[in-house]
């Protein structure tokens, strides 16, 4: 809603990527609840694994547009490709569709957290603008950093504990809480001004 109300005439690629990411999240959540309600275990696990791949792809695309350094763009592309290959191997040959893809989720979280920290580093070190928090990209990065840091161990334990009723209650509470925080911060990002490319950042 905030994107459509405040950003409909904005051509900022990073914000558009996040907008489509949110739409995908809504569709995935609806489908996930349906599959879980129908007790369709393997399709449910498959769509969770697919979400991990798409979520990482969306963030890599965001990061690709947000960073102006050519070398880092290439690193992002190779990282994305490597993660896709690893996720495929892990899901079909190691995990064999038997449980949640906790290993892939853990690696995804670590990679995105590293990208977030790097982005904040170059913004702080490379920008002459003290108000870096006034850009949409800053709030997008902060939202992912908080969400993935808060749910990291939750997802790591998911493959062994997800079908434990007590764990699932805790999982739903913690995951929902950080999802709310994540989407509130993404809503804030939609209200911010477009990020300006600073040539000084190219040193880093």
pLDDT digits (tens, 9 = 90+) for 113-150: 999 999 988 887 765 555 677 788 888 999 999 999 88
Instruction: Taking residues 147-172, report their average pLDDT.
Output: 78
- Position 166 pLDDT exceeds 90: no
The whole-number pLDDT of residue 7 equals: 55
The answer to whether residue 153 sits within a structural domain is: yes
d(CA 4, CA 108): 29
d(CA 57, CA 171): 24
**What percent of the chain has pLDDT above 90?**
22
Domain of 93, in residue numbers: 8-203
The answer to whether residue 161 sits within a structural domain is: yes
Tell which wins on pLDDT, 110 or 195.
110
The answer to whether residue 120 sits within a structural domain is: yes
Token duo for residue 15: 């914000």
The answer to whether residue 118 sits within a structural domain is: yes
- Position 201 pLDDT exceeds 50: no
The answer to whether residue 3 sits within a structural domain is: no
The whole-number pLDDT of residue 111 equals: 94
* Structure confidence at residue 102 as a pLDDT band (50, 70, 90): confident
DSSP class of residue 135 equals: B
Number of domains into which the chain is organized: 1
The answer to whether residue 197 sits within a structural domain is: yes
Instruction: Taking residues 66-81, report their average pLDDT.
Output: 92
The answer to whether residue 53 sits within a structural domain is: yes
Helix (H, G, I), strand (E, B) or coil at 9: coil
Q: Which of 143, 125, 129 is nearest to 62 (CA)?
A: 143
**Which residue pairs from 97-100 have beta carbons closer than 8 angstroms and sit at least 24 positions apart in sequence?**
97/42, 97/45, 97/46, 98/45, 99/45, 99/159, 99/160, 99/162, 100/45, 100/48, 100/49, 100/155, 100/158, 100/159, 100/162
The answer to whether residue 124 sits within a structural domain is: yes
Q: How many helices (H) and strands (E) does the chain have?
A: 8, 0
* Structure confidence at residue 103 as a pLDDT band (50, 70, 90): confident
Helix (H, G, I), strand (E, B) or coil at 170: helix
The whole-number pLDDT of residue 79 equals: 94
């Amino acid at each position: 809603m905030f994107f459509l109300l405040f950003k409909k005439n904005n051509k900022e690629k990073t914000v558009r990527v996040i907008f489509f990411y949110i739409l995908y999240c809504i569709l995935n959540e609806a489908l996930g609840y349906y599959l879980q309600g129908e007790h369709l275990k393997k399709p449910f696990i498959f769509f969770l694994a697919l979400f991990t791949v798409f979520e990482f792809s969306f963030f890599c695309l965001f990061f690709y547009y947000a960073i102006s350094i050519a070398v880092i763009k290439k690193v992002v592309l190779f990282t994305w490709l490597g993660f896709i290959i690893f996720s495929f191997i892990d899901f079909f040959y190691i995990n064999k569709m038997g449980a949640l893809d906790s290993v892939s989720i853990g690696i995804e979280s670590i990679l995105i957290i590293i990208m977030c920290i790097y982005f904040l580093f170059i913004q702080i070190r490379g920008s002459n603008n003290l108000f870096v928090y006034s850009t949409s990209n800053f709030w997008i990065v902060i939202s992912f950093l908080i969400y993935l840091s808060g749910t990291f161990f939750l997802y790591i334990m998911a493959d062994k504990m997800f079908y434990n009723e007590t764990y699932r209650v805790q999982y739903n509470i913690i995951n929902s809480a950080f999802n709310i925080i994540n989407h509130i911060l993404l809503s804030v990002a939609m209200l911010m001004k477009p990020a300006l490319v600073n040539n000084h950042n190219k040193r880093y």
